[in-house]
Chains A and B, each alone.
Chain A
Amino acid sequence: MTTQPSANPTPSQIADLTMMTVKPRSLWVDAWYRLIRNKAAVAGMIVVAFFLFVAIFANQLAPHNPLETNAGKSFLPPAWMEIGPNGRPSDPAFFFGTDNLGRDVLSRTIYGARVSMVVGFLPTIVIILVGSVIGLLAGYKGGQFDNILMRFTDVIYAFPDLLFFIIVMVTLRETFVGKLLNGLFLLFMALAFVNWVGFARVVRGQVLSLKEKEFIEAARCIGASDARIMFRHLLPNSLGPIIILSALTIPGMIITEAILGYLGLGLTPSTNPNDIFITSWGALMLDGQVAINAQPWLILPPAICVSLVVLAFTFLGDGLRDALDPRLQGTQ
């Protein structure tokens, strides 16, 4: 038997004890350390933070008003080209050049970041909430509810999702709902409608394996209510997969918005300077595509930005997966 510490420890004994005990680290802190050791994930985080910053302060950062047209200054080449294919010299005031109406490409690209960031984050937050709750209920209660969810999932998976977005955007654009937020609201709804299923399935699977574990048994034994078991025990233990999935869903949302914008079905570019969302990267690429041969500077900034953001989120998501679930490291 070990010796008991004396009833009244001297201050030096107390100091020894505190010296010896290591401060316990929670799983989350461990995961955080694993994440910040991953260089690619940190780079991804920095890029995401940068674009978030650009999106929030777009009106301060943009050198010009994105809607301001400059007569006689259309199709100016970017600052590093001395003379454009149409013979116009570049103007240092327009760093990435100007489009067909003489609008500043850099400012428009900066404003485009807003749409991508909002499309990435807002619907994701909504579907995390909806998907997790439904997944929890389906996994925990099982039975008929679970059955309906799984059949619904089958249908959603069979429906080609991009085609669904195209049909929804084409059909409902002209209606009242389709005009809210320049069409972004409808896009959010469509994205959320398709994507919550993935979350529900992941949470359901997690709950199915967790609910047989001893700690749930224990919680039930001491008389915890169903709601308490679900939200205090099952949900926190499924957070890892939820976080990983959200980091991988966000780039999917951004890509979808860009594709729809590129097809002319995303955000309706606005001409009202008071609007928050003026143009999107997809719409900019659509504008730039007509001049892809002669004026590639119109299409390159938004295309590079989309690629950068999506890559950053993917690296961040991969890093989160490795950090939160070390067993999976490098296998996928």
Chain B
Amino acid sequence: MGKYLIRRLFWLIPVIIVVSGITFILMHSAPGGPWDRDTTARQVDQNTQRLLNEYYGLDKPLWRQYVAYVIGDFNKKGEFVCGLVCGNLGPSYRMRGMTIQQILFAPPEGKNFLYSRFGYSMRLGVLALLFAVIIGIPAGVIAALKQNTIIDYVSLFIVTIGISVPNFVMALFLIILFASTLKWVNVVPRSWDEVSVWILPTVILGFGTMARTARLMRGSMLEVMRMDYIRTARSKGLAERVVVLRHMIKNSLIPVVTILGPALAALVTGSFIIETMFGFPGMGRAYVTAIGQRDYSMIMGTTLIYAVLIALANLSVDIVYSFLDPRIRLE
């Protein structure tokens, strides 16, 4: 188990190298650079651009820039600045004087970590996951217990809608329904401290995961319900409530629990459209903005954080499974 974990973690290294390599090549082949894209603002003059390029090492050959980003390089004063290997995601070219890790992880003055960009995205992801689990699991259980009744069909239909309709289209429908027509919620919030403004983004982001959870739970329940030990439990006279709660639900939760890690990663990393739509101060919107602004190290750093999160989430499936199902051995 320990060996397996270490080997899997070592696999992160080539993944990071390849992901960063592809991102690096792609973003440097984009026309323009970090200094000249913002056409609304005053343009940076040629001389300053040259000095900035020199200062950030953007005048060096591309391979050297890549090595500098990953391992590190000597700066103008001859000091060695450590790169990605020390956890340094590089300086931002847009918010000058700040590093990427400060932008993403450091909260504003006097607030805690949850108020950083990453913290906002994380909170939204966790809330969406909670919504998905709290609605999805009971829905799946009820649908399975009432299989082939109208309840089952209605929930299956909602589930299929949730799985197939993309979340931004769902967002458009819900905004038109709840914000413009019924005027129940406010989509342009003044502050993200109000509780009510979180409802719509959370529900929209979590809807797909909710549907997937419900579907998985229903399938897993249907499988467990036909097991011999359920018949045994009934025949020894256990109350139906005990059979359902202790025997069926507990056993059919296994596949659902294993997908929670990837689901959370998908929600945290996949929220950038919702974040952009609602003007949410999270990591996803920062990422989309950075692409437009050619903020190279911001693009790189965020992509890598996403990739690592997803890889760790996939690893968590194997580990959780081996805990829940002792028959599985990790080699």
Contacts and interface: CB of A to CB of B under 8 A. Distances in A.
Chains A and B are bound partners: yes
Interface of A: 151, 154-155, 157-160, 162-164, 166-168, 170-172, 174, 251, 255, 258-259, 262-263, 285, 289, 292-293, 296, 299-300, 303, 306-307, 310-311, 313-315, 318, 330-332
A98 to B, nearest CB: 19
Contact of B164 (A151, A293, A296, A311): A311
Contacts of B161: 307, 311
A162 B272 CA distance: 10
Contact of A171 (B18, B26, B175, B216): B26
24 contacts: A154-B11, A154-B15, A158-B310, A159-B22, A160-B270, A160-B306, A162-B270, A164-B22, A166-B288, A167-B27, A167-B291, A167-B303, A170-B291, A171-B27, A171-B30, A263-B276, A285-B169, A292-B176, A299-B172, A299-B176, A303-B172, A306-B166, A311-B160, A332-B219
Nearest to A293: B180
Interface of B: 11, 14-15, 18-19, 22-23, 26-27, 29-31, 160-161, 163-166, 168-169, 172-173, 175-176, 179-180, 215-216, 219, 222-223, 269-270, 272-273, 276, 287-288, 291-292, 299, 303, 306-307, 310-311, 314
B29 A258 contact: no
Contacts of B166: 255, 258-259, 306, 310
Given A259-B166, A310-B165, 10 more contacts: A154-B11, A158-B314, A159-B19, A167-B299, A171-B29, A174-B31, A289-B172, A303-B169, A307-B169, A310-B164
B18 A155 contact: yes
**Which label, helix, strand, loop or mixed, suits the secondary structure of the B interface?**
helix
A169 B50 CA distance: 28
Contacts of A313: 164
Contacts of A162: 270, 272
**Which label, helix, strand, loop or mixed, suits the secondary structure of the A interface?**
helix
Given A155-B15, A331-B223, A172 B291 contact: no
Contacts of A303: 169, 172-173
A160 B302 CA distance: 11
A47 B172 CA distance: 22
Contact of A292 (B172, B222, B311): B172
Nearest to A160: B306
B160 A315 contact: yes
Contacts of A315: 160
B29 to A, nearest CB: 5
A251 B311 CA distance: 25
Given A160-B310, A311-B160, A263 B287 contact: no
Given A167-B27, A307-B165, A311-B160, A296 B180 contact: yes
Given A167-B299, A170-B291, A300-B176, A262 B165 contact: no
A68 B159 CA distance: 40
A149 to B, nearest CB: 14
A314 B163 contact: yes
A315 B163 CA distance: 11
A99 to B, nearest CB: 16
